[in-house]
Amino acid sequence: MIAIVGAGRLGTALAAALRAVGYDVLGPLGRGADPRDASAVVLCVPDGEIAHAAAAVTAGPLVGHCSGATALDVLAPHEAFSLHPLMTVPTGADPARFAGAGCAIDGTTPRALAVAEALATALRMRPTRVADEDRTAYHAAASIASNFLVTIEGAAERLAATAGVDRALLAPLVRAAVDDWAARGAEQALTGPIARGDDETVARQRAAIAARTPDLVPLFDALVAATRDLAGPRREPRAGAAMRTLRSVAEMREYVARVRATGRTIALVPTMGAFHAGHHALMRAARAAADEVVVWLFVNPAQFNEQRDLAAYPRDEAKDAAEAAALGVDVLFAPGVEEVYPPGFATTVHVEGLSDVLEGAVRGVSHFTGVCTVVTKMLNMVTPDLAFFGQKDAQQVAVLRRMVADLDIPVKLVVIPTVREPDGLALSSRNVHLSPENRRRALALSRALRAAETVVADGERDAAAITARARTAMDDVDAEYLALVDPDSFQPIDNVNGRVLVAVAARVGDTRLIDNTIITTAATPDGAPTTQEDI
Ligand code: AMP
């Protein structure tokens, strides 16, 4: 005989269903019952009362519960099982309702498990064993699949009502969507504007929701984001997909407004073009981190201290555009000089101190002022959530971090490790100017950095000694500077203790090259050093 304890909806339905398939059933009994004659007792009580109900049963029969989220230990010391029908049980449910439903089962002994399986099978459910450690995840999945679906339908119903459309008209659509999902899986079953990439429609939908049921906007935004992830293609490189090239600030603002209206995030990759694998790494990282990727392509005259360098700077927009499109970039923003610096332009952004040393000292303070001014402008034009920069330009990163913090610019800077040729040369747009002989000599920079790393690894902590060894490694190439500085303040350090940035610049032939590395030692002279690329 099977006893059912708990006379709620589930207990009542389960007792009726088991009787209907020929079981000798006692109950449903009230909570706290102690059915001594039963061979098994099934507790159909709220989760919080299971332990109490189990304690009321005198040792002897197998004891089971019907909770999705509760482990078996709550039934100890009984020989125990669990039986959780994956089915809603409304009041007065038809006993046949269980047929075809899934059913999570478990047992503390093979015999207890066999009883759970027999009960589920008798009701024509499909039993599957779910172990204790998987139960909460299983139960959460069931909640998403059923409870949250109802929540979503409730939202749809409210919005539809504002258009005079009744729930009954939505129901066939919901059934068809669920059937399709069950048959083909989520990715295949997805239809509608997001799956089609129709952002305009999604933006109009959001505006309508904001006007009629504004409290549903956060739910809509979250579902749009999750649906986009499911639809997928914009998160992957879309070889050959349409990438737009924009030239004006007005066009960029329109684009940003459309993107923001759909709650999408934007990553910005600032560049001066002539793309190489370093730029590609930035674009890939941006593609993986945000919904929309904007690449800024602008050879900024304000940051060049030599007209000759500016004139000779490599430019090939057609090639750059093809590479960006292949990496899944959404927008190439390539404004002309007049668009960025219209007549009458008179404002600059200057970061004190950090801008004056190393690169600032060699190229003049106007270099970083030019960088900061143009980066401020592009951040204002694009308003990205994230902006990607290379560790290759370590001082630029330090200056921009200071600027973004000081000016409260709402953007997160993301720094990508330096990408190198197999022989160690840091990739740079300027490398194309190197003759074969100078290409070989250019290895002096990365060699100097490796020498510094090695000598620190050997225990040297004196900055002057480290610098001397690194300079020696450069052979016939003269460093414009080779310095050990604090990676944040760029102030020189005398002794390595913690994180230090080794920065080097040199002219190789007519080409000016820079490189750097960060060395980290434990904050004691004897600590084992490590190198790291991230800053
Ligand atoms: P540029 O076009 O030279 O102004 O560089 C655009 C961005 O790419 C900057 O944030 C650079 O720091 C970054 N970048 C340049 N070269 C490399 C490289 N070899 N590895 C990683 N990032 C780089």
pLDDT digits (tens, 9 = 90+) for 419-473: 999 999 999 999 999 999 999 999 999 999 999 999 999 999 999 999 999 999 9
Distance, in Å, from the CA atom of 113 to the CA atom of 212, rounded to the nearest integer, reads: 52
Catalytic residue among 65, 84, 279, 367: 279
The secondary structure of residue 234, as a DSSP letter, is: G
- Count CA atoms within 13 Å of residue 288 on its CB side: 8
More confident residue, 148 or 95: 148
Residue 202 pLDDT grade (very low, low, confident, very high; cuts 50, 70, 90): confident
Answer whether residue 62 shows pLDDT above 60. yes
CA distance 100 to 78: 30
For ligand 1, the distance from its centroid to the CA atom of residue 530, given in whole angstroms, is 24
| Closest residue by Cα to residue 74 from 15, 7, 132 | 132
User: For residue 272, which atom of ligand 1 is closest to its CA?
Assistant: 2
Give the per-residue pLDDT at 231: 86
- From the list 57, 60, 67, 58, the residue with the least C-alpha distance to 8 is 67
Instruction: Please report the pLDDT score of residue 200 as a whole number.
Output: 78
The answer to whether residues 516 and 394 touch, using CB atoms and an 8 Å cutoff, is yes
> Nearest C-alpha to atom 13 of ligand 1 is from which residue?
390
CA distance 51 to 35: 16
Per the omega criterion (within 30 degrees of 0), is the bond before 77 cis?
yes
pLDDT of amino acid 494: 96
Which segments of 144-231 does DSSP mark as H helices, in order? Answer: 149-162, 167-184, 186-189, 193-196, 199-212, 217-231
Q: Which residues line ligand 1 (CB under 6 A)?
A: 271-272, 278-279, 281-282, 389-390, 392-393, 416, 418-419, 426-429
Which ligand 1 atom sits nearest the alpha carbon of residue 396?
Answer: 12
pLDDT for 92 equals: 77
**63-69 average pLDDT score:** 95
357, pLDDT greater than 70 = yes
Rounded to whole angstroms, how far apart are CA atoms 296 and 506?
27
Contact 315, 299 (CB under 8 A): yes
Q: Which atom of ligand 1 is nearest to the CA of 393?
A: 12
Q: How far is the CA of 10 from the centre of ligand 1 (A)?
A: 64
Q: How far is the CA of 412 from the centre of ligand 1 (A)?
A: 17
Q: Give the atom of ligand 1 at the shortest distance from the alpha carbon of 427.
A: 19
**Chain segment 173-190, per-residue pLDDT in tens:** 999 999 989 988 998 889
Predicted confidence (pLDDT) at residue 526 exceeds the cutoff of 60? no
Both tokens assigned to 71? 């482990």
What gap in Å lies between CA 235 and CA 284, rounded to an integer?
Answer: 10
- 433 secondary structure, DSSP code: G
What residues pair up with 276 in beta bridges, in sequence order?
Answer: none
Least confident of 227-236, 350-359, 388-397: 227-236
- pLDDT of 534 strictly over 70: no
Please give the distance, rounded to the nearest whole angstrom, from the Cα atom of residue 389 to the centre of ligand 1.
7
CA distance 506 to 312: 18
Q: Residue 32's pLDDT band (boundaries 50, 70, 90)?
A: confident
Taking the C-alpha atoms of residue 74 and residue 439, their distance in angstroms, rounded to an integer, is 72
Here the tokens at position 394 are: 């370590």
**What is the rounded average pLDDT of the residues 105-113?**
96
Q: Whose CA is nearest to atom 10 of ligand 1?
A: 389
- For the beta sheet containing 530-532, the strands, ordered from the edge strand earlier in sequence to the opposite edge, are 479-485, 499-508, 511-520, 530-532
Angstrom distance (rounded) from CA 305 to CA 9: 80
Mean pLDDT score, 206-228: 91
pLDDT band at 22 (very low <50, low <70, confident <90, very high): very high
Tokens coding 467: 């610098």
Calculate how far, in angstroms, residue 33's C-alpha sits from the geometric centre of ligand 1: 74
pLDDT > 60? residue 147: yes
pLDDT tens digits for 274-329? 999 999 999 999 999 999 999 999 999 999 989 999 999 999 999 999 999 999 99
65 a catalytic residue: no
Q: Contact 74/51 with Cβ under 8 angstroms?
A: yes
How far apart are alpha carbons 60 and 298 in whole angstroms? 81
User: What six digits make up the tokens of 199?
Assistant: 């952002």
Cα of 515 from ligand 1 centre, angstroms: 11
Alpha-carbon distance of 72 to 133, in angstroms, equals 11
Among the listed ranges 68-72, 224-228, 329-333, 391-395, which one has the minimum average pLDDT value? 224-228
Percent of the chain at pLDDT > 90 equals 83
> How far is the C-alpha of 405 from the C-alpha of 85, rounded, in Å?
55
Show contacts of 189-194: CB within 8 Å, 24+ apart. Answer: 190/227, 190/230, 190/231, 194/224, 194/227, 194/228, 194/231
Question: What backbone phi and psi angles, to 5 degrees, belong to 165?
Answer: -105, 130
Residues linked to residue 201 through DSSP beta bridges, in sequence order: none
Using most ligand atoms within 8 A of CB, pick from 268, 269, 271, 272 the residue to mutate for ligand 1. Answer: 271
pLDDT value, residue 482:
98
pLDDT-based confidence at residue 214 (cuts at 50, 70, 90): very high
- Cα–Cα distance for residue pair 349/424, rounded to 1 Å: 35
Average pLDDT, the chain: 92
The pair of three-digit structure tokens given for residue 265, joined into one six-digit string: 């995030």
Distance of CA 495 to the CA centre of its chain: 39
Residue among 294, 391, 392 to mutate when testing ligand 1 (max atoms within 8 A of CB)? 392
CA of 361 relative to ligand 1 center, distance in Å: 21
- Which of 359, 393, 418 has most ligand 1 atoms within 8 Å of CB, for mutation? 393
Handedness of CA 253, 259, 262, 266 (dihedral sign): negative
Q: Which two tokens stand for residue 39?
A: 């061979």
Atom number, ligand 1, closest to the C-alpha of residue 274:
2
533 contacts 391 by C-beta, under 8 angstroms:
yes
Diameter of the chain by CA atoms?
A: 99
Secondary structure letter of residue 242 according to DSSP: -
Structural domains of the chain, ranges and CATH numbers in brackets:
2-130 (3.40.50.720), 159-231 (no CATH), 244-416 (3.40.50.620), 429-534 (3.30.1300.10)
**Is 70 exceeded by the pLDDT of residue 265?**
yes
Pick the closest to residue 30 from 52, 49, 4 (CA basis).
Answer: 4
Query: What pTM did the predictor assign?
Result: 0.60
- Residue position matching structure tokens 């009960």: 119
